[in-house]
Amino acid sequence: MAHFAKIDNLGTVVFVTVGRDEDNGKELEICARTGDTYRQTSYNTRGGIHYKTNSHEPSEDQSKAFRKNFAGIGYTFDKDRDAFIPPKPFASWILNETTCQWDAPVVKPELTEEQSNNNNYYVWNETTTQWELNG
């Protein structure tokens, strides 16, 4: 099943739709028919890696990975990178050029077993630019 992202004149994704499999690779025909700009997006691609359907396991065929991330409303299509980039979550975060995802300027700490058992998790504090343990 092919998916396509409609992109406005600022490069922002405004709509994502399912197309026919036979429309794979026919972006220019879709643009010519509607007058809108659409780019194909890979549903199972995250961070430049294609994953098996409904799985966190990478696919054997990585040729299916393209445009770095599955497009979502509010994402940006970067023509130079040929990639969909999610909205920046915090001002201090930095774009990872390999994955086209945003990384915190500080590595997220690992939870201890006790913290994990107590359902603790880390949240980003933009004011201190640090990860903080909930509770």
Residue 106 within a domain: no
Residue 32 within a domain: yes
Q: Sort 12 into a burial class: Cβ within 10 Å, 0-12 / 13-18 / 19+.
A: middle
| DSSP notation for 25-44 | T-HHHHHHHHSSEEEEE-TT
Residue 94 within a domain: no
The confidence score (pLDDT) of residue 23 equals 62
Residue 69 within a domain: yes
What range does the domain containing 22 cover? 2-87
Could you tell me the pTM of the whole model? 0.85
Residue 113 within a domain: no
User: How many structural domains does the chain have?
Assistant: 1
Per-residue pLDDT of the chain (135 residues; tens, 9 = 90+): 789 999 999 999 999 998 876 666 667 667 777 788 899 999 999 999 999 998 999 999 998 888 999 999 999 999 999 999 999 999 999 999 999 999 999 999 999 999 988 999 999 999 999 999 986
Residue 80 within a domain: yes
Distance CA 112, CA 90 (A): 26
The confidence score (pLDDT) of residue 16 equals 95
In eight-state DSSP terms, residue 80 is: T
